Each structure stands twice: as C-alpha cells, then as structure tokens.
Structure 1
Amino acid sequence: MPLSEHEQRMLDQIERALYAEDPKFANTVRETNPQVHYKRRIVKASIGFVVGVILMMTGVMIMGVVADQLVLGGVLSMLGFLVMLICTVRGMSEWRRATGGAPPEAADPGPSGKQQRRSQRPGMMDRLEERWRKRQEGE
C-alpha cells in the first residue's frame, strides 16, 4: 500500500533530520541489505550445528572409552544435541526470513468448508440491498 503525500513528506523530513544528526549512521542504515544479516545468521547457525555434533560425538566417545565418566559423556551428548536443535531452529527461521516468508504449503491454505459455504450464499446485507434495489426500480 503506497504512502499518502502527507506520510511521504513526513518520512522525507525524518530522513533529512537523521542525516543532519548522524550522517554516518544514516548511510550505514541506508546501504545495509537485510539479506546480508540473515545470511550471516544462517552461517553462524551452521557453525553452531557443527559444534553441537562435535560435542555430541565427544560425549559418546567419552562414554565408550572411559567407563568412569558416563555422567560427563551423557551431559556432553545432551548438551551437543541441544546446541544442534537450537541452531537448527534458528537457522530455519533465518532461512524463512531470507527467502521471504512461510513455506509454500502454509502461504495460502484456502478457505475452510464453513467459509466456502458462506462465500457461496449471499449474506443478510446482500439480500437487504437486493430488496432495496428492487423496490427502488419498481419491481
């Protein structure tokens, strides 16, 4: 939805005031593409996932090699799994933001059965308007 002329003038005025107050920050904000931030976060989440795999495998190895350290190995494995899970969720949410929204199947689920029935039959206001129109035309 486009801005009205008044809103556009106000936005321009705010932008000029920002440039006058802090030109370096204004240039940084204007030149920054949000996609860069999303990609950077995806890379960080990927690195975190790899760290989680390493932690989990280290915990499994400790449990297999040193019988006295079952608790330490279990804690490391669980910590690695949690790191992997958190990084996966974070990476997927950033991926959605970077690609522009929800997955295709969730983008337009379509009307439910009740909504379809409502759209097929005229509502009360439609019937009243139709009766009013007929009355005005003399039918």
Structure 2
Amino acid sequence: MPLSEHEQRLLEQIERALVDDDPKFASTVRTGDRRQKARRKLQIGIGLVLVGLIVLVIGALEFWPLGVLGFLVMFGGAVLGILNYKNATGAVQPGAAPGPTGGSTAAGKGPKARRQPLKNRLEERFRRRYDQ
C-alpha cells in the first residue's frame, strides 16, 4: 500500500532530521541491506566446503597430502559459514533479545538463566492453576 503525500513528507522530514542529527548512522543505514556481506561470506563458505570435499575425495584416491589440503579448505569453509549464518539469515538466538520486561533473565534467577519457551511457561501456569 503506497504512502499518502502527507506520510511521504513526514518520512522525508524524519530522514532529514536523522541526517542532521547523526550523519554517520544515516550513511550506515542508507547503504542498504546490512546482511549482504554476511550472506556473501556464507555463500563463499558453502562453496569452500564443496570444493574442499571434492579435493578431499580426489586426494584420498590419488595423493594423501592433497586430501589433507582438501580437508583444511572444507573446514575453513565450514567455519566461515557457521560464523556468518546468524547474521546472514537474521536468525535470533533464544534469549539474545530482551523480553517485554526489559531483562533477559528468567524469573530473576540470575544472568545465566535461560527463558523457558512459551509452551513450557503456559503449561506450567496451567498446572499451577489447579494446584492452588
């Protein structure tokens, strides 16, 4: 649904205010998708895994040092892919973002405690309702 003229003007005013207030942040946001670099690294990692696997198989059949080199390339590609997977896909780790209460701890059990999944919390509330 397209924006009305009034909404477009408001958006332009907000953009100008952002550029005036924090030009460095505005240029960072304006550059486009921030996940593009991570996606590219993920693709390179997948490619390296495939190339390393092929070199590993050829090295295992022909010349064993070539197989070791293939393994190292494959391992490097896997590490590159794993390190960039979260940023490339936008996946969020459980407990990484603070909940609606503003904290990431579960029921005040300390900073290392993990929040339970919603299903488990709802089941626990249901059980407590009949226990009381």
TM-score, with structure 1 as normaliser:
0.48
Structure having the larger proportion of residues in helix: 1
Q: Which has the higher contact order (CA 8 A, sep 6+)?
A: 1
TM-score, with structure 2 as normaliser:
0.50
